[in-house]
Chain A
Amino acid sequence: MIEHGPLLERLLAGEFVCAVSDDRAFRRLEDEEVREQIDTYLRPLNRRLATNAEGSVYFLAWRQLNDEAREQLSRQLGEVLHSLMPMLEWLQLMQEAMGHDALVAPGDVLKPAELSARCEDNQSLREQLERLAGDTFFGSQSEQLDAQMKQVFKRLKEHGYLLQPHADRQVYLVTGKIDYLVDLVRLIRDEENLPVEDERPQTQESLL
């Protein structure tokens, strides 16, 4: 277990481990034997290793859901819901600013300076960023576009959605936690039967 020490510490601290945040640890976690070892170790701490549907991120879950754990999960769920709208808007902003028709995905490289420049030239993006940055989740007090973008990235880094490989360089990598967020959105959609489609309509399919 000695060699898993640092990894265990990160998991216990509540980190999400993915191929972007720690490639070596992630590859180790893909080994079922290692997962079992870690689970055994975590048992007395009432925790177990958990992953999302695609197996792209690992994190720790409660093993037994006692009242305390449920209390904590309710609070946490509340926080996630509070961040949901700003996160969705951020995802859409990134997509539009980069002119992509796919969402940012784990491993994507984001440069706040570049994105600021795009928003500067586009009134609608500019307004979207302003609204987003002012949300309590991101909490920017600034009226400066650069500062707003910086604050948004800072918060996303704190929440583990982004990784900054070099502290002195404004270049960020998207982590696997984004996958977790998308899965969570899908869960809410399914649980609440929301009228939100993600599949291509069948008729269009048959035209191709």
Chain B
Amino acid sequence: MKELAVRDEHELESRLIGTGVERLALLGKHADALMQGYSRDEVPLEALSDSALRRLLAARIVWRPDDQGGVKLAPRVRELIAEMLADETRRQVNADVGETLELLRTLVQSYREAQNQGEYWRQEQQLLRLRQAVDDLNGRFADAIDSLWQRLNSDFGFVSRLNDKIRENDRAQKQIVRLLDGLQLIDFDELIELVGSDGTLRKLLISQLQRQVSQHYTSLREVQSRLTELMARFRQQQSRSRLISGMAAFLREHPNFVPGNYARRSEVPDLINQASPLIAAAAPALDHEPDIRVLTDLVHQLPTPVHKPQAVAAARPAEAEEQSLVAARQQALKQDVENFYLTVIDHPDPMGISALAYLQESDMEWGDEIWLFQVIAEYQGLPRSEQRAFRLHQSESRASRFNDLRLIHDVTLQLANSA
């Protein structure tokens, strides 16, 4: 009698396997049509023969919601595809813990009965199904958590608008609450009582499940806090965008709007307190013995300056107020130097005219150094052809016996052909 039952069960099992393989093959055979059904609303029937459609309907891969309507993918198949594609727009979080717990209780009872009656084969079968039920439960949480991380890490990249992102984030947070509620339903005290002293069951339903549940808890809490952070960022982005467009609209409407001068208040807002720039300038100094050699080397390495004649007179973009005075003085100096050059042309002197002597005779107030500098600069600023018309003699000496620096004491300018 017992053997007969076992044989029946074996037969049942092999029949199930056969049908399963046949029906799974249908998924592959009609993959194109099914995927079109996934991406659109309905499965296109043109590609399917009548018998193929009948088989798909019988396998509950597709269904017909009403007689007049078209054929659609069965919800489970749609979920399966979404899961396989990690398609976050359609992936569902389903942690139906209550029902699984009910199933576990039933299976434990059947397992017990089989054990008591010494039906080992049935006992094995029940244990297998128990394992599968625990794995399913575990897998559902793992999938749900995976889906949450995917969405989080992509910044909800599958929707583009900020409002949609905020809504999706909100939905994900609600899913987490449901998942956490689900985990809460697993009452280990009850399970301990249920499994009693059975070592196998204890391992499966207590130690293994407990470890997995605690992992899920940790992951869910982590993903939850990250989602909250991301939500705050979304909201901040939204608020910034509103603020800027609001302010721009206000300023367009009130072009003459001038806010108060916060800098004159007794309490200046921190935000506008921004110190003026300070350039940490430095210049070569010769008062430190070891540096002199370095500086001398540097001077020797300087490339010969190439002067572009137009650089001095070139127009420059608007300058700040403080600079305009400097610019005016610079211009006056240049003008005076030009007059010096004109004097040299008008009064050709074979000995040339000393720039310093000219300066001292005139009532100009330029410093000697700056005057000489400008006279030399003016000469170097001339186009080469005009430079040839003049001869500029620099009376110079070495700074010291140990220093090759040349000091210019005066320059004499003369017309080239007057010599």
Contact = CB atoms under 8 A, between A and B. Distances in A.
Asked if chains A and B come from one complex, the reply is yes
Nearest to B258: A81
Given A81-B259, A103-B237, A188-B259, A91 B274 contact: no
17 contacts: A9-B280, A12-B278, A65-B273, A70-B263, A73-B274, A92-B244, A101-B161, A182-B244, A184-B272, A187-B262, A187-B269, A187-B272, A189-B243, A189-B247, A191-B259, A199-B239, A208-B166
A95 B244 CA distance: 11
A103 B161 contact: no
A138 interface: no
B163 A101 contact: yes
A182 B262 contact: no
Pick the 9 closest A-B CB pairs, nearest first.
A14-B277, A73-B263, A196-B246, A198-B243, A102-B237, A61-B273, A88-B248, A74-B263, A198-B239
A62 B243 contact: no
A186 B259 CA distance: 12
Nearest to A192: B259
Interface SS of chain B: helix
A62 B275 contact: yes
Interface residues of B, number: 43
A23 B357 CA distance: 59
A121 interface: no
Interface of A: 8-9, 12-14, 45-47, 50, 52-53, 59-62, 65, 69-70, 72-74, 76-77, 80-81, 84-85, 88-89, 91-92, 95, 99, 101-103, 105, 180, 182-189, 191-192, 194-200, 208
A105 B279 contact: no
Contacts of A192: 259-260
A92 B170 contact: no
A103 B241 contact: yes
A50 B274 contact: yes
A52 B276 CA distance: 17
A62 B248 CA distance: 30
Interface string B249-291: 1110000001111111000111111111111100000000000
A99 B162 CA distance: 11
